[in-house]
Amino acid sequence: MRELKLILFFCLLTFAVSCGQQKKYVEYKVAKGETMRSIARKLDIKTKDLRRLNPDVRRRPAPNTIIIVPNTKSLATANAQKETFRKKQQESIVEVDKDSIVLNTNEDAEKFLIHEVKKGDTFYNLTRFYNVSKAALISLNPELSDGLKLFQKIKVKHIEENANETIVYNDEIGEGVSLKVALLLPFRVSEYDTVAADEIFDNSRLANYVTDFYMGAELAIDSLRSQGVPIELNVYDTERNSSKIRTVLEENDLDLNDVIIGPLYSEEAVVVANEVETPLVFPVYSKNQSNFKSSKIIKTAPDKAVFSEAIATHIKEVFEEGTITIVSDGDLESEFHASKMSEILQDVDSLNEVQLLKAVDGYIEKERFLEVFKQLTNNWVVLATSDNVVVSDAINSLISLPDSITAKVFSMDKGKAFDKIDDNKLARVGFTYVNDRFVDENSEFTKTFNQQYVAKNNSLPSFYATKGFDITYDILVRLASGTSLKETFKKGASYRVESKFNYSKQLFETTQNKGLFILQYNEDLTLTRLK
């Protein structure tokens, strides 16, 4: 069956490549007043298809933005229309787009975020790191039309747009650096020794996770080795009992390694951390991780409290006027997050009061929303709950409000409760949420990762494999700089295939990752990364 799936996959891949070669794409310069929808209409294609070709471009692109479009017959007509429009408007246009102004060198540093191009920089890395489009970079730096040049200083965005942006970590590989890595995973080889492979993977989620995570980690190590970093990988099967962990510790000096990745279970991580001096990377999320005390542990998955803090902080940064209502389901966890978010939002100068609504018997009637909404527009509702019934009822109540009243919905995550709601409903309320993963399937970086993974493992990477790659690559490339992990954490956040790592390290405390994305549903059901 697996061989059949593999053959089918490669057949589809070959078909997709051949189709891609037959369909040509060209650049299109946006005229003043054009939107993605109007351009799609001119080209006789769907707006969502145009957005997929240009995932980093807003619905209303700035004039002179360069986008990618299919080279259809409609393109010639669209260009002719655009040229006619340009000639008619040429004499009457008096305002100047601030992004097109060329500033003096001394003024640039004061008004723009400046980036110096380093070895390994690509347009994809820069656009992902700074959350800007390639077209926006070229608009600010026309010389980038010829590509990036080493040591070149470029304008990224206006400083006011970057006031709350995270400092970005730049990968550097030091000369003569070699690494030793210990990987502790519950392969459970002895237990599965007499069990057929198909039976193992069909019946065990753990077996799938461990195997996929390992294959992703292995690809990360291969990638760094290809960049000239000698890496010795020491793999230990922790099975699934505390006595095996003790045996591994007794028979091996794990402190001979530069870093330890694993174990997967929180109680085992605590045991190992108490016995070693080497940094220990905890590669999964556990409800118990908030109880970690060891300064040697590095938590790669953000605590849930960080999620609620992230959405509240985002709202605080962008809120201008209107009402904010926080909805809870009444249980202790929901009340904790609602209280935490309310505390953060109380500091908003333009906000008189944060309203709190608690579900009654699992429901929030729309009349209760009408009672707290003080105006027709800018009514922001924050769902501090993951209860299926409360989430569904709140969304349905909000979209059934009179057309004259608008509401926007925020959440600290997009759990299973939201998976049960139609995406069109989420789009109607501009659903904005926090997530610890974001992937651009159209990016060259992601495509390259997928291709390398397929070439090595004969299958597309799963979520677990990608996580294994991201965590392993990020930690090891930081160590490859020749600097301690603690020092690299001070140098900024990093973005990998689908993860963001923004480690917070305080003296004598556990290091935790606070790297999260703020994502928003668009009308055409695409997602925009706001932060």
Any idea which residue has 């966890």 for tokens?
Answer: 333
Domains annotated for the chain, with CATH where assigned, are 26-89 (3.10.350.10), 102-162 (3.10.350.10), 179-302+442-515 (3.40.50.2300), 305-435 (3.40.50.2300)
Q: What is the pTM of this model?
A: 0.68
CB atoms within 10 A of CB 273: 22
Token pair, residue 232, equals 């010795």
Q: Of 30, 41, 42, whose CA–CA distance to 67 is shortest?
A: 30
Alpha-carbon distance of 255 to 273, in angstroms, equals 11
Read off the DSSP letter of residue 420: T
Does residue 61 register a pLDDT over 90? no
Contact 152, 117 (CB under 8 A): yes
**Residue 79: pLDDT over 50:** yes
Residue (of 274, 269, 261, 307) closest to 286 by Cα position? 269
For residue 205, is it left (φ>0), alpha (ψ between -120 and 50) or beta?
Answer: alpha
Q: Is the pLDDT assigned to residue 474 strictly greater than 70?
A: yes
What pLDDT, on the 0 to 100 scale, is given for residue 403?
81
Residue 302 pLDDT: 93
How confident is the model over 423-467, as pLDDT tens digits? 999 999 999 999 999 987 777 778 888 999 999 888 889 999 999
pLDDT digits (tens, 9 = 90+) for 235-291: 999 887 778 889 999 999 999 999 999 899 999 999 999 999 999 999 999 989 989
With beta carbons less than 8 A apart as the criterion, state whether 112 and 105 touch: no
Calpha distance 261→274 (Å, rounded) = 15
- The SS3 assignment for 457 reads helix
pLDDT digits (tens, 9 = 90+) for 148-198: 888 788 888 776 544 445 677 888 888 889 999 999 998 865 554 434 444
Beta bridge partners of 403: none
Render pLDDT for 358-388 as a digit per residue (tens, 0 to 9): 988 878 888 888 888 877 778 899 999 888 8
**Per-residue pLDDT tens digits for 205-234:** 777 888 899 999 999 999 999 989 999 999
CA distance 85 to 398: 41
DSSP 170-187: PP---TT--EEEEEEE--
C-alpha atoms less than 13 angstroms from C-alpha of 262 in its C-beta half-sphere? 26
Distance separating alpha carbons of residues 59 and 56, to the nearest angstrom: 10
Tokens of 1: 């069956």
d(CA 336, CA 328): 9
- Pairwise pLDDT comparison (354 vs 506), residue with the higher score: 354
Least confident of 6-20, 275-289, 513-527: 6-20
What count of other Cβ atoms lies within 10 Å of the Cβ of residue 275? 15
Instruction: Report d(CA 317, CA 408) in Å as an integer.
Output: 16
Confidence band, pLDDT 50/70/90 cuts, at residue 507: low
Tokens representing 79 are 């260009």
Q: Which residues contact 35 (CB under 8 A, 6 or more apart)?
A: 59, 60, 61
Rounded to whole angstroms, the Cα distance separating 221 from 406 reads 50
Backbone angles phi, psi at 147, to 5 degrees: 100, 170
What is the total residue count of the chain? 531
Closest CA to 518 of 505, 509, 508, 527: 527
